[in-house]
Structure 1
Amino acid sequence: MTLRLAFSGIHRQPLASLASVFFIAASITLLTLTSLLSCQLYGSIDSLMDQAQVPDILQMHAGSVDEQGIKDFADRCPQITGWQISSFLNLNNPAVRLKDQSLAGSTQDNGLVIQPEHFDFLLDLSGSRPEVQPGEVYVPVAYRSLYDLETGDIMTIGSDSLIIAGFIRDAQMNAMMCSSKRFLVHPQTLERLQDAGVQETLIEFMLADGASPSQFRRTYEDAGLPASGPFIDRSLIRMMNVLSDGTVIFLLFLVSLAVLAISLLCIRYILFLQLEQDRQQTGMMKALGISRKAVRQIYLVHYALLTVPGILAGLLAALILQRPLLKQLRELYGTAPDSSAVPLACLLAASVIALIVLISVRLSLHSLDRQSPLDALRNPQTFGRSGTRFMSAAVCAGCTFLVLVPLFLSHTLSSPGFVTSMGIGDAQLRLDLASAQTAGFVTERLEKDEQVKKWSLLTTYGQTVRLTDGTTLSLPVETGDLEAFPVTCDKGRLAEKENELALSVLAARELNLEPGDTLQLEDQPEPFVISGLYSDITNGGKTAKALHLETEPDPVWTVGYVSLKDMADPQSWMESMSGTGISVTSIREYVRQTYAQTLHQLNLAAQLAACTGLFITAVVMFLSIRLSIQQNRDTLSLKKALGFTTGQLKREWFLRQIPWCLSGAAAGLLLALGPGKWLCCLVLEQLGATGFSFDIPWFSALAVLFLIPAAALTATWCNLSVLRCITPCECFRGKESS
């Protein structure tokens, strides 16, 4: 009987049932999409790293190394199960062109390599090791879309030309957040082009299961082996790959939560309308002795039946929408292997949404318990246009929040001011220098250059900190004039004295240090006082800044920051400064290239959120107005009998919606600037970026504040055309439309 009554309710109220299915499907679509993308991201990254056999430890070193010394070390170290030395010919970016585009402004260290012999393989798009021929080159797949490249295009290095034979996935340096990119060439080609760049070396190790990378680093350093470059472990490589698309997946998760909240609100509204329409029927059932639990059961079964088509529609929509979002991910990392975790995650997401909806319905049905049979049979209907107006405000607020948060986050990450959260100052130009000798030349030139307003050269040295458990932490320490282009400190300030050192937030969190504490670097004779904590999401987010180190090992890298005078032409200055061992790029371009993958996905997610927000606004308003008209049909008929025209009724309903829609949009803006900013801060803080603040594109924000109410009011006006179908005599007959 309960099932029959539930089906009868669906048949009797098809519009309300269809609306409920739509809201359930919308919530399931986005949460399932989040689950799909997460499984694909982690699965494809892990699969690529396994296929390529990514090393557990990578030590980059400027220059050549003593291979016999590395071999002797590997033979006597029981932690090592495999090792190899790979050459990396670091090219002079201004001398390199991909098709017709120069790499002069590239922020990457672009280098030529040959296929490694034992592990750390470079794979083509089919997952195989490509057989490159003399005169050919395989280009990093990240550059295919960035520079609009195709197979057969020409790569020029100085006066030499190479044919682009294909594209490679580099599990170690795939992400644009990694600072280096490898081009695969034939050994003969590498030999011929030796004079085109500076020789660097990648010293790579595979470790035994259970071996600690930090302990191995200490063993390596104690052996006095080459270490004039970053020390990278497998976990850092994986994190850099995940960061590029992980931010977008989190944003999509926020969007799904916003849609779920809107959907629950709409379903609750629809349920209250149904309860009002069924007031007399439920009162009659109670009067006949049917228990309150049985009455509630009818509505629960009713919505349980609606969740079935909602789940199917949501899963189907998620499968369709995943294709554009997975396009870049699959290009960079390949397709994730088939796994039972993917369908299980999708079903779990759908089940969670269905369960939340049913719990919400069950809680909303408490109003039935408070209603006596006599009240149900006697009291008039009370849920009318006030509920519709509140619904208008709530939906406009939710959808405005849904659209603005991705828009603000995308614009903020692409703005030059965000560099202060990346661990670098807000300068105009960035110089990447190949060697200490180059730094001397640049210093002399900048001091004499009348176009330069302000400049600073910062040198980074590799340092080690021993933790309380005996393990060590690799800590790059940047030294130089920190006040020329200061980063913003979350706590305290940058180093101002010789014995002071500022720590990044993530490094301070791992070392459990606060401003005022002391830190002993293993290569330095005296401890440093922590002067402050700053944001940094480069180099794994664990860095430090000091005026200088008393004991200076070989530098890892040197960068320069420059701001020019107003009279200077930045493009001409960049061209004049660029040369062998010097790469110059604007800070805006540096941010764009570093976050190219993330920004592309963020823009895609922002577009999806905008379309979703506008669509949901229009659909919700259309359905809520239609349901409210049904609910107030007798009142509207009576007004027509009293002489009101259809046009007057339409204007009355429409004008009363305007302030509610506008106030809802304004509330959505406040929610985006408040809770929305807090949620974004929560995630970015885990990456090391604190003190986050939205860089608001006010023109776009005002456009959203206009479009959301416009979509709501347009749907309202179009829907009010049904008022002409209401006749004056209906109120006298007591007729109700189905």
Structure 2
Amino acid sequence: MDWLIVKNDFKRNKVINLALLLFMMFSAGLAVLSVIMGVQTFTSISRLYEKAQPPHFLQMHKGEIDQEKIDEFMSDYEGITYWQTITMINVHGESLSVVGKDTYDLSDCRLGIGLVKQNESRDLLLNSEHEKVIIEEGEIGIPVLLKEMYDMKIGDHVLLNYNNVLKEFIIKEFILDAQMNSPMVSSTRILLSNKDFDMLNGKVGENEYLIEAYFTDSKEASNFQTAYENAGLPQNGQAVTYAMIFILSAITDMVTVFVLLLVSALLIIVSFICVKFTIMAALEEEIGEIGTMKAIGLPFAHIRNIYLNKYRILASVGVVIGYILALLTTGIFTNHVRTTFGNMSMSPLAIILSIVVGCLVFLLITYYCKKVLKRIKKVTVVDALVRRKGFHKEKGQIKDGLYKSKKLPVNWLMAIREVFYSFKNWTIVFAVVLIAVIMIMVPINLMNTFEAPEFITYMGSSLEDILIEVENGENLEINYKKVVQVLEDDDAIETYYKYRRVRVQTTNADAELMNLHVDSGDNSGNGLKYISGKAPNGENEIAISYLNSNEIGKNIGDTMVLSYGDRKKEFVLSGIYQGVTSGGYTAKSKYDFSNLTSEKYSFSVNLKDNTVAEEKADQWSEIVGPGVTIYPMEEFINQTLGGVVKQLKTIVFIIVIIGACLVMLITVLFLKLRLAKDLAEVAVLKAIGFPELDIKKQYLVKIGYVSIIGILVGVILTNVLGEKIVNLVLTISGLGVKKVDLVVNPLVLYVLCPLLLLALMQLVTWIVLRTITKYNIISIINE
């Protein structure tokens, strides 16, 4: 009998049950998909790292090295299991041309390009199957990072033209580089055969050395870096630790996982709202039957299970279909993971956790249904059979408000009055619109933030028109003077600021000696995003990065003693800023540290006309020559964060479609139930002379009024909660960024998104209201 009741209910309420099934399916599917993608991202990176063996500590160095001194230090350092020094030939993008479907060079590539040969056992360059790549003479292995940027194909020809040396290669393989696979890093490596590498070494480019160390515990890398730098070993270049390599590798896909998790959580909330609404609507409609069952002695548990069985079936079918859809669409969302970290089958952990998440969604829905159905327990036989009002008892005086009709059209007055005095009956529409706004706008704002030029201030650099970096090496000071001369002679420049990086010592929270890399200059620290405090103002103040503040254990106003050479100087901590450059461990000061050797120089340039930034960057690059990287800030941001933005755009498009379908389905579901409940009221309105058009107008006004309130509250919550959610995830990630001000597009947030949702809801409302034409007044009144 129970199953017969459920079967008949499915037949009678096809649209409502289908809508419920869809919400349960989408919420379960997205939850499963986000878990699969998160697990696949980390397991893919881990498996790649197992095969490729990237270093736990990497020091890049341009200039001469004393390998014997390096070997001596490494062998004496406790905890080291392996070390090696790799030679990389640095060439410039303009010296590499690709001939395929089109012919182009890599002159616009921001990344430093290095030619290398395959290593023996550690820091290997692999193919998509995680196999060590062997390149023959005349062949070349291109990193996946460059393939994505330029759409290269296997078989394309690559021409190297440098210092009158011309060499042609054929692309044999696209390689996975475990430590240089993110656009956020500064370099990428191209693989040559041993013979071609030896032939080119010393004839083209400039040699750069990768000094790599491995430990029994990768966390030892931070302490090792301090000891290495203090030992006076080669360090004319970037130093990177294993943890930062891992985080930068995963950031693009983890942003996607975060967005999917957020949307799935919101959809689960929508499912709960829909379940509660449909259950209460069904119970109100069948209050007489419930009273009869109670009167003949059926226990509460049995009555509850009659209704609960239906939702158990819906939840189980929805979760199973959602799980299957998640598995079928996983390939679309994990395409970037496969491309960047190699092909791999679904990991057992992903399968197990996805099943667990699917079961959790099912249990949450059924638990919530049980909780809602507890209301049956409070219904008395008298309330159900005599008063016919077992769940909602009317309270208070009836307010007609008709005296205001002179100021407002009657249809508008009646519609707004009903919503205003009985808003509880319309909360499902309000809540779903509110959630849809948050679900759509938070990912859009996140995408706008990554795309905006201002995001560079979260990476530790101020926002200017052109960014110039003088690379470390033997010609550091010469190249620095060249850049200064070019900037001094160019009338197109409005202002420019120069910075030099020096290394000093301080103590961390455990009173252990640690190195601090300080960017010194008159404008140093200005224009950055500060978590607390402000930029240094005067030579006795210093600002440090967020990660350094955690390491050092200092707060705003505390004093710091910096040691450099045989000197010591006390600084007051003025601010804590956010940054990811140099692994996120930097500091800013206006003090010049004149007696210290510079590690690096950088310049930020503002032009009188910023539209010529690209032209000026190309012009200056030709003048100063190699050893200096010059790029317009917009191009730098596009190349650095382009992968994240591209992935987000795909996700945002899907979410907008889901959000639009969400509000339309809920509107249909709600109106179907509402019209069924309002049959008598509609019949009375028709009987006293209201035409069908007026009745339709009233429902359009009701839906529009509730929608506008939901949109307004959704916009407010997006602005208030959106940043808090994003910042919580950033804090957990350990990237060096803790607080981001989301960039809002006012046109999208305040105009396009509200109008889209409002228009869709009014459209489906009008379509559903066509059923009013079929209402027969006499039969309804008689009933």
TM above 0.5, yes or no, is yes
Alignment of 1:324-363 (within 5 A): 324-336=332-344, 338-363=346-371
Q: Does 1:391 align with 2:428?
A: yes
Answer whether contact 1:87 1:202 (CA < 8 A) is retained. yes
Aligned to 2:121: 118
One-letter identity of the residue aligned with 1:479: S
Answer whether contact 1:109 1:180 (CA < 8 A) is retained. yes
**Alpha-carbon spacing, 1:475–1:163, altered in 2? closer, same or farther (3 Å):** farther
Aligned to 1:683: 729
Q: Does 1:445 align with 2:445?
A: no
Aligned to 2:574: 531
Answer whether contact 1:292 1:368 (CA < 8 A) is retained. yes
Aligned to 1:582: 628
One-letter identity of the residue aligned with 1:130: V
One-letter identity of the residue aligned with 1:182: R
Shift of 1:342: 0.9
Q: Deviations over 1:620-658 (max 9, x none)?
A: 111221222223334434544555554443333223322
Shift of 1:75: 3.6
Alignment of 1:95-494 (within 5 A): 95-99=95-99, 100-158=103-161, 160=166, 161-190=168-197, 191-192=199-200, 194-209=202-217, 212-221=220-229, 223-336=231-344, 338-380=346-388, 389-434=426-471, 435-463=476-504, 465-469=506-510, 475-483=516-524, 486-494=527-535
Aligned to 1:603: 649
Taking the aligned partners of 1:167 and 1:496, their CA distance within structure 2 comes to 49
Structure 1: 5+ residue stretches without partners: none
One-letter identity of the residue aligned with 1:452: I
**Alpha-carbon spacing, 1:518–1:470, altered in 2? closer, same or farther (3 Å):** closer
One-letter identity of the residue aligned with 1:505: Y
**Alpha-carbon spacing, 1:257–1:211, altered in 2? closer, same or farther (3 Å):** closer
Structure 2: 5+ residue stretches without partners: 393-417
**Alpha-carbon spacing, 1:569–1:220, altered in 2? closer, same or farther (3 Å):** closer
The TM-score, its normalising length taken from structure 1, stands at: 0.93
Moved more, 552-561 or 25-34: 552-561
Q: Deviations over 1:194-216 (max 9, x none)?
A: 44422110011222358722333
User: Among residues 536, 544, 557, which one is paired with 2:587 in the alignment?
Assistant: 544
Taking the aligned partners of 2:761 and 2:388, their CA distance within structure 1 comes to 29
Moved more, 485-494 or 664-673: 485-494
**Alpha-carbon spacing, 1:288–1:609, altered in 2? closer, same or farther (3 Å):** same
Moved more, 481-490 or 23-32: 481-490
**Alpha-carbon spacing, 1:567–1:221, altered in 2? closer, same or farther (3 Å):** closer
User: Among residues 708, 717, 721, which one is paired with 2:770 in the alignment?
Assistant: 721
Q: Deviations over 1:683-729 (max 9, x none)?
A: 23453335522222223332111111111121211222222333234
Moved more, 307-316 or 94-103: 94-103
Answer whether contact 1:104 1:583 (CA < 8 A) is retained. no
Taking the aligned partners of 1:543 and 1:158, their CA distance within structure 2 comes to 37
User: Among residues 612, 626, 636, which one is paired with 2:658 in the alignment?
Assistant: 612
The TM-score, its normalising length taken from structure 2, stands at: 0.88
Q: Deviations over 1:44-71 (max 9, x none)?
A: 0111111101122212112232222233
Moved more, 421-430 or 495-504: 495-504
Taking the aligned partners of 2:251 and 2:705, their CA distance within structure 1 comes to 42
One-letter identity of the residue aligned with 2:447: S
Shift of 1:671: 1.8
Q: Deviations over 1:70-93 (max 9, x none)?
A: 333334444222221101222234
Taking the aligned partners of 1:445 and 1:369, their CA distance within structure 2 comes to 84
**3-state DSSP of counterpart to 2:169:** strand
Q: Deviations over 1:74-131 (max 9, x none)?
A: 3444422222110122223443444544433433222111112231001122322222
Q: Deviations over 1:135-161 (max 9, x none)?
A: 332221022122122123333443534
Shift of 1:482: 2.5
Q: Deviations over 1:382-431 (max 9, x none)?
A: 98985664333322221122111111110111111121111110101111
Answer whether contact 2:139 2:193 (CA < 8 A) is retained. yes
Taking the aligned partners of 1:40 and 1:691, their CA distance within structure 2 comes to 27
Aligned to 1:594: 640
Q: CA RMSD in A?
A: 2.7
Shift of 1:607: 1.0
Shift of 1:372: 1.6
Answer whether contact 2:458 2:579 (CA < 8 A) is retained. yes
Q: Deviations over 1:567-603 (max 9, x none)?
A: 8832331121013222221111111111122111111
**3-state DSSP of counterpart to 2:334:** helix
**Alpha-carbon spacing, 1:328–1:139, altered in 2? closer, same or farther (3 Å):** same
**Alpha-carbon spacing, 1:500–1:567, altered in 2? closer, same or farther (3 Å):** closer
**Alpha-carbon spacing, 1:241–1:559, altered in 2? closer, same or farther (3 Å):** same
| Number of equivalent positions | 734
Aligned to 2:406: none
Aligned to 1:700: 748
Q: Does 1:518 align with 2:559?
A: yes
One-letter identity of the residue aligned with 1:137: I
**Alpha-carbon spacing, 1:339–1:176, altered in 2? closer, same or farther (3 Å):** same
**Alpha-carbon spacing, 1:574–1:690, altered in 2? closer, same or farther (3 Å):** same
**Alpha-carbon spacing, 1:224–1:625, altered in 2? closer, same or farther (3 Å):** same
**3-state DSSP of counterpart to 2:579:** coil
**3-state DSSP of counterpart to 2:462:** coil
Which structure has more RCO (C-alpha within 8 Å, separation ≥ 6)?
1
Shift of 1:332: 0.4
Shift of 1:680: 1.7
Taking the aligned partners of 1:630 and 1:196, their CA distance within structure 2 comes to 81
Moved more, 524-533 or 261-270: 524-533
Moved more, 326-335 or 288-297: 288-297
**Alpha-carbon spacing, 1:166–1:481, altered in 2? closer, same or farther (3 Å):** farther
Taking the aligned partners of 2:77 and 2:142, their CA distance within structure 1 comes to 36
Taking the aligned partners of 1:490 and 1:172, their CA distance within structure 2 comes to 29
Answer whether contact 1:28 1:314 (CA < 8 A) is retained. yes
Taking the aligned partners of 1:548 and 1:336, their CA distance within structure 2 comes to 52
One-letter identity of the residue aligned with 2:157: I
Q: Deviations over 1:434-475 (max 9, x none)?
A: 233211211122122211111122222345554344666554
**Alpha-carbon spacing, 1:320–1:556, altered in 2? closer, same or farther (3 Å):** farther
Taking the aligned partners of 1:644 and 1:194, their CA distance within structure 2 comes to 92
**Alpha-carbon spacing, 1:468–1:534, altered in 2? closer, same or farther (3 Å):** closer
Q: Deviations over 1:350-400 (max 9, x none)?
A: 222222222322332343233221111233579898566433332222112
One-letter identity of the residue aligned with 1:726: Y
**Alpha-carbon spacing, 1:663–1:215, altered in 2? closer, same or farther (3 Å):** closer
Moved more, 152-161 or 22-31: 152-161
Taking the aligned partners of 1:574 and 1:358, their CA distance within structure 2 comes to 62
Aligned to 1:63: 63
Answer whether contact 1:502 1:532 (CA < 8 A) is retained. yes
Taking the aligned partners of 1:730 and 1:461, their CA distance within structure 2 comes to 89
One-letter identity of the residue aligned with 2:15: L
